[in-house]
Structure formats: C-alpha cells, structure tokens
Structure 1
C-alpha cells in the first residue's frame, strides 16, 4: 500500500512575548493554503499536531497550551502606508478547528521582527543601526500595530538586557503601539458593546455578576475576583486542575459573548474559543509568582488573571493587556476601580508570572469613550528556522 510522502514548507519557529508560534510567508505556503479555507486550517492543525486527544502535541510543533498552539502568516501589505499584513490562527488543542477571530498581542512582537527576517520590509526603511519602525496591518481585526524593532548591523537585534516576566532569559526590547485598538465593528459599534462601563451579567448557574465588557485589543469580560470566590493571586495550578472552576469560567465567557453580540447562540461559543477572553481583577496584595519571586502590593496597581482557550494563562496575553490598560484608563470600570479609581494613563498589574506595565490614551468625546493608542514592551527571538514537514495528504 502506497503512503503519501512528507512535504516540506519554509517556516520559522519564533517566541514573541510569552507565546510561541510557527511563522510562514504567505508565498511559501502550498498554493491551496494561500487562501482562507479548509485546506489552510487542516495544514495548520497538522503543523501544530492536533487535534490531539492526548492533549500533548507530540506529533507536531505545538506545546499543548494556548500560548504555544499558534500559526502566523505574513505577506507584503495590501494596505496603504503599511509594511506587512499579519494573519494569526489560534489552533485548538483537542478539537479540529482554527480560530481566526482575534489577534495575539504577544506574537505581534514577533510579527514585527519576522517581517525583517523574511525580507518583507523595504530595505530602504531599515537602518544599519537603530530602530526600524514596522507598520503592521493586523488582518484578523483590521487594526494597525506599530513595532519598534531594534536593528544592529542591518539585522534584527535579538539579544539584550530587557527582562519580561514569564520569559526565562533577557532579550532586546521591542515597543509595540496598538493604534485605535477598540473594536467598533463586530462587537456592537462601541468599545463598550452594551453601552455601559459595568453591567449586571446573568450567568446560568452562577446568578448575576458585575462585569465590564470591553472590545479593546481583544473582546474581554472582566469580573471581580471576590465575586467568583477568587483572590486574584491564583496561579495556573490553582485553576486549571479544577474542572468545576473551569466550567464556571466558561459559563461566564459564553454569557459575556452573548451579551456583547459576538455570538447569537450559546452553542456557537464552542467554535469561538479564542474570544472573548475572561479576566478577573482584584486590588493589590502580596503574592508569590510561578517562578517563586515575591511581588509586593506596593509595586503594582492591581491584580489580574486571565483565561485563554479555557485555561488560566501562565502570564498575560498581550491583547488582553491592551484591554486591561484601556479599561484602567476609564474611570468607573471594574479594572479602574480595582486599581484605586480615578484617571490614569498607565497601570502595572500583577499576573501569575510577575508584573507588566501597559499604557493607554483614552478620551470621552460626545459621551462615547475611545482609545487612540495602547503601548507596551515585549521581546521576540527566532528559535529555529528552515522547513516544517507534514504528510502531503494532510491538507
């Protein structure tokens, strides 16, 4: 019996922020995968190693977590005044689908660096030494991201002394600007889809919870930690091994998605696991991070824990950090109140791996809140480059 041979596809394995993913140039993908559709989805699932009933991704490049089950496509931009188009796919671990509904803020960092590595930026725009401003069109959410990528001797500088909690080794700092990050399309025509800074959210089986539902960076539902029996200082093992707790968070996510207009029926949530995110907030307190480091209450403005793809994240998703920074800048949201209330242009929050500072410029015009920009620093590094191999009949 004849079996299909493996084919090889040029690819680069990169870390961006606290995530990892497999990066492709659009032109390097098999022809039928250069357009959206089932073939592309099947290819990415096979590259990552899913769906995997063992939830291990042994036969693929994935790491069996939401932070490590990602694929990215970059191409020269079709948009005016942009360098590259960046498309992100979140590959499910044990289910057969790829979620294209949102962005990965962490891999946005790597997208800026990969644009240079892959020769997708006009060489005339790349300094010999200094900083290259890479103008990224985020195609999933149709937003602009500006990556300030350090360059040394005409190449991306990847080593440095910038430390990012959740990443073991220091690297070079890349500053990201998320321009006009609020979603005024799909999520109901407003950064706050319900029109309120705080809503009473009816959650089947849990009752009524106060919630701030915002579409900035990524659609996110914020609730108070105390209202769901949490402290805000939890680590992954405190939540991810508790099936009942995870079911409660999923119930909140589904209720929030319905209220935000992201889905029409609860059943649709099963095929939209990437969004919205669920996060719970609390005032500052001392806690010990996953690495054993102590974070003191006086060094942070608030505590935030967030779930991605049904599990508590080991650090913080970059897009969710944008939502945190934006909500913190708007007086009266649950995030703002947990941070002490009042007006603020930046917050430092505690997450399971440490702390992160994010800034946002928000303003109210004609009674409607908007955010012009959110800014944070991350880092990125190429881990491996060459070809990824998949069976020719896999897609």
Structure 2
C-alpha cells in the first residue's frame, strides 16, 4: 500500500534571472524544519532530483542551475533583521543539495515573499513607497537590504524595469549587500589580489580569488583560449571545456582554503564559482541583441554547477563589482584599471551594472557595500505535492 502525497504550502517565484520554490520554515513538515536528511530528501523530491535524464520532469526544477533552487524563510532570530534566508542549490543528476552559498538573484524575491507571508512587521511596510527588508543570509551569515516597492499596501511586482536575461519587464528591486565578504574568511583568502594558480595538465594561470557575494575564482579568458564573448552553447556543448573549467574550479577551491583536497570538490559544487574576464568586444547576446564594446567596461562569463550560466549569478555580480573596485585584480585590469566604483559588464544575455565601495584598512582590502538592481515576481502560489 503506497502512502498518498503530502501537501506543502509553497510559492514558485522568479528572482532576477533565476527561479525557485520558496517555503516558510514553519510550513515544512516537522522533520524538515531542521537541517538534515529529512529536509534534503523532501526538497530533492519536490525539485525532481536526482534525475539521470537531466530534465527534472517529475518535479518543479527546470533542469538548469538557475532553475533548480529552493529557499526557506523564517522570522529572523538576529537583531535588527526581519527575515532569515536559507538557500539550497539542488543538483540535477545527484542526490545532493549544496547549502554552502547564497543566490543573489533569488535574494530579490526574498523581500516580497517575506512581506506577503507576514514575516515583516507591518510597521515597516508603508502603504505606498519602498519597504526596506533587512535580510539575514543564513548560509554565509551576511546582511542584505532588499528595497521592495509597495503600492496600496501590497508588493508592486509589475513595472518597466528591464533586466537582460529576463524576457519581460517588471518592478525594480534594489539590493544592497553589506560587508559582502563571504562568511568563510578574508576578502582575499591568499592575501593577494592576483595569484599564480597551478592546474595540472592545464598550466599556471593568473587568478584573482575573492570572497565577496560568493567565493569566486577569476581568470583571464585569453589564458584558456577564449575571447570572453562566448555564449552557452560554445562552452556547454564542449565536454573537454567543461572538464577543464571544473578542474580549474577545484584547484581554486583548494587554494582558497574552501576544501582540503581536490576530491572534495564534488561535494561542494555551488562554491566557489569560476569566471573568466576580458576587455570589451562587440558581440551578439543570446537573445540576438547587439552589445557594443563601447557600452560596457568588460566581459565576464561565469560557470554555475558545471555549466556556463545563461546570464550572471547575482552573487557573482557582487564578486565582480567588489573585484573591479580594487586596483590590480584581473577584473579591475580587464575593465581598464583605476578607481572603479561602478561598472557595466557584458554577460551572455546582455549587460548588468553593479557598484561596490572598497577601502584598504591596515593593508587589508575591505568591501563595505555592493549594490545592483534586479526584479522579482510570484509565478504560482499554493501547495506543492511530494510522495512521502
């Protein structure tokens, strides 16, 4: 006798160029309200993983790193914060959820969900204007301010803000990442803005390894045979390229002190990211939109969960902005060098503007704030079902 499916209240939301299934912690079944096997098994089944076919047909996932995501929110246990935000990146072909990092794109949907679901005190939500939701990012233990537009006491989702990588316009949601150095250590874990990264069978690469937004390994596109104008098919259809970039990521993770040996990289797929940068060039984005070199400061392509991202992860954009603000990093050099508190970079779907404030204190670089604009909206709300 097979047990019937269980029903779990949930909201399916787009945030930035990602989408995922959002839950209130208290709506999860009791065993899944604490971290562990019960929670992971439930979320894996809801998303539809592991799927050897790579489609997540029997679940809510969309079979890409951008659409295989879960979010758990609760009233904050931290002082001066409204909501605690926990993010789980769900592997597609493995029974694995990576809880090691944040999703900057889905952060833009956290504020709206929190307000709509009563996680923000009503006194902090104006009838008209902007509600500033104080988010505690529980994965990396950092504060984020999400500026949510409000009309007649409700979240304003529609608008004319256009975000490359998202088909339709929506209301603008401004994000501020405060002291965004990742919770696992120094801004530059090696102490250098540029390192020599030795990768067997590939060579010694110049690399900027930074903990901001999300741990990220930046390399020069030209050092691995690319121009920086590549689109998804140029990378994701090349098995050798994917292996090379994953090898670079794994060795970068060891160099950053995130793992102790290469074999551990498989259990930490979400972080660090690896991205390659180049000076501006003309190119056609994946939508066919022509991007002129003169309209951007640099080119960036980033890998997520073993594939080239279709646009840019929000957390990686924070890392890009932070690295650009610090002279001598590979990102800063690709963007022309000097003091760069705001840049506009080209990614596979178009362009994105990001800003950051950095300062040197006692010889160590610190990033005090990074900011960008995204958009978010509810796609569906109600209950999601999962077999027991």
Instruction: Give 3-state SS (helix, strand or coil) of 1:127's partner.
Output: coil
Partners of 2:278 and 2:239 in 1: CA distance: 23
Deviation at 1:234, TM superposition (A): 0.3
Instruction: After TM superposition, list the pairs within 5 Å mapping 1:190-269 onto structure 2.
Output: 190-269=186-265
1:270-349 map, 5 Å: 270-349=266-345
Aligned 1:128-167 pairs, distance under 5 A: 128-167=127-166
Q: CA deviation at 1:286?
A: 0.3
Q: Tell me, what secondary structure is at the counterpart of 1:103?
A: coil
Over 3 Å off, 4+ runs? none
Cα displacement (A) at 1:4: 1.4
CA shift, 1:119, in A, is 1.1
Query: What is the CA distance between 1:322 and its match in structure 2?
Result: 0.2
Q: Shift in Å at residue 383 of structure 1?
A: 0.1
Q: 2: CA distance between counterparts of 1:334 and 1:239?
A: 21
> Equivalent residue for 1:171?
170
Q: Shift in Å at residue 56 of structure 1?
A: 0.1
CA distance in 1, matches of 2:266, 2:330: 27
Q: CA deviation at 1:19?
A: 0.1
Q: Which residue does 1:375 correspond to in 2?
A: 371
Residues of 2 paired with 1:205 and 1:4: CA distance?
52
SS of corresponding position for 1:67: helix
SS of 1:170's partner is: coil
CA deviation after TM superposition for structure 1 residue 113, in Å: 1.0
Q: Secondary structure at the match of 2:110?
A: helix
**TM-score of the aligned structures, taking structure 2 as reference length:** 1.00
SS in 2 for 1:95: coil
**How many Å apart are 1:205 and its aligned residue?**
1.2
Number of residue pairs aligned between Structure 1 and Structure 2: 388
Q: Normalized against structure 1, the TM-score is what?
A: 0.98
Structure 2 SS opposite 1:87? strand
| Aligned match of 1:361 | 357
1:94 maps to what in 2? 93
Could you say which residue in structure 1 is the equivalent of 2:42? 43
Q: Deviations over 1:319-378 (max 9, x none)?
A: 000000000000000000000011110100000000000000000011000000000000
Unaligned runs of 5+ in 2: none
